[in-house]
Amino acid sequence: MEIRQIFLNKGKHRFCFRYRVGREDELISSFAALADDPEQNFDWFDAAVLSYTVGRQLERDLGEATELLH
């Protein structure tokens, strides 16, 4: 199964998330958990931006799969 990465640079912090294709729901849950932790330099806006980026990647994947069927 393919492994992907997504990054967020925020000030002096760099967040790197690795996930398996098909497990995007777990990834998004981890964004929420980080955003909910007041000790992390990761907020709900960061979670929303990364969730949006993951959603866009899923759209691209779906488009590619649909093109292969035609």
Secondary structure of 9-68 as H, E, C letters? EECCEEEEEEEECCCHHHHHHHHHHHHCCCCCCCCHHHHHHHHHHHHHHHHHHHHHHHHH
Per-residue confidence (pLDDT) for residue 67, from 0 to 100: 73
Per-residue confidence (pLDDT) for residue 64, from 0 to 100: 79
Task: Note the pLDDT tens digit of each residue in 50-60.
Answer: 999 999 999 99
Facing residues of 7 across strands?
16
Give the pLDDT band (50/70/90) at residue 1.
confident
Q: Supply the mean pLDDT for the chain.
A: 93
Task: Note the pLDDT tens digit of each residue in 24-69.
Answer: 999 999 999 999 999 999 999 999 999 999 999 999 988 877 776 7
Per-residue confidence (pLDDT) for residue 59, from 0 to 100: 92
